């Protein structure tokens, strides 16, 4: 299974100490160079900075078609989102991990299957990799300033029986 990730799923899951869920669910993930640079090219490390450098199940791959990335940036998408979408398309990925609304809309329009952090947590709960989702969502909101509407929050908890 080929899974490409944008920056936010990595930073958000790392912030709540759940990054290993990606390996448990997908075995390995691929990130484009722009995502790697977003995570490692900062003076102050962010959640996920060390992990993308140290974990062998996170692979960095270059995008082959930079003109497609430039076109995606006109949407407008930031470079990391554009490269993640382009790489998912180039690799014919089974899944793209992305949370940003605009990026999700563009990826969906291109026929790319996607999942965000909440979807990852739902699958992890259903596979009994985590006992409860609510405390993790609350941590995401508190620690990462993760934005989730009250309606979505309630729907996710209802879907998993919490």
> Tens digit of pLDDT for each residue in 101-156?
999 999 999 999 999 999 999 999 999 999 999 999 999 999 988 999 999 999 99
pLDDT at 161: 96
pLDDT of residue 44 exceeding 90:
no
CA nearest 92: which of 116, 105, 111, 66? 111
pLDDT at 71: 97
State the average pLDDT over residues 31-54.
93
> Tens digit of pLDDT for each residue in 93-112?
999 999 999 999 999 999 99
pLDDT at 68: 98
pLDDT at 91: 98
Confidence category of residue 69, pLDDT binned at 50, 70, 90: very high
- The residues facing 97 across adjacent strands are 5, 115
Confidence category of residue 43, pLDDT binned at 50, 70, 90: confident
Alpha-carbon torsion, ordered 148, 144, 105, 27, to 10 deg: -110
Residues sharing a CB contact under 8 Å with residue 10, sequence separation 6 or more, in sequence order: 19, 22, 31, 35, 39, 47, 48, 51, 52, 58
Question: What is the CATH architecture of 3-118?
Answer: 3-Layer(aba) Sandwich (3.40)
Report the alpha-carbon angle 51-103-162, nearest 5.
70
pTM of the entire structure? 0.95
pLDDT of residue 42 exceeding 90:
no
By percentage, how much of the chain surpasses pLDDT 70? 100
């Amino acid at each position: 299974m080929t899974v490409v990730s944008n920056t936010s799923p990595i930073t958000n899951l790392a912030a709540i100490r759940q990054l290993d869920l990606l390996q448990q669910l997908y075995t390995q993930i691929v990130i484009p160079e722009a995502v790697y640079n977003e995570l490692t090219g900062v003076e102050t490390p962010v959640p996920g900075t060390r992990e993308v450098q140290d974990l062998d199940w996170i692979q960095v791959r270059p995008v082959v078609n930079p003109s497609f990335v430039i076109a995606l940036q006109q949407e407008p998408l930031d470079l990391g989102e554009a490269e993640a979408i382009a790489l998912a398309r180039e690799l014919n990925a089974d899944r793209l991990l992305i949370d940003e609304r605009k990026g999700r809309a563009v990826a969906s329009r291109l026929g790319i299957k996607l999942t965000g952090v909440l979807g990852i947590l739902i699958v992890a709960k259903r596979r009994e990799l985590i006992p409860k989702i609510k405390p993790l969502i609350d941590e995401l909101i508190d620690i990462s300033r993760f934005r989730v509407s009250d309606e979505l929050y309630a729907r996710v908890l209802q879907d998993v029986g919490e």
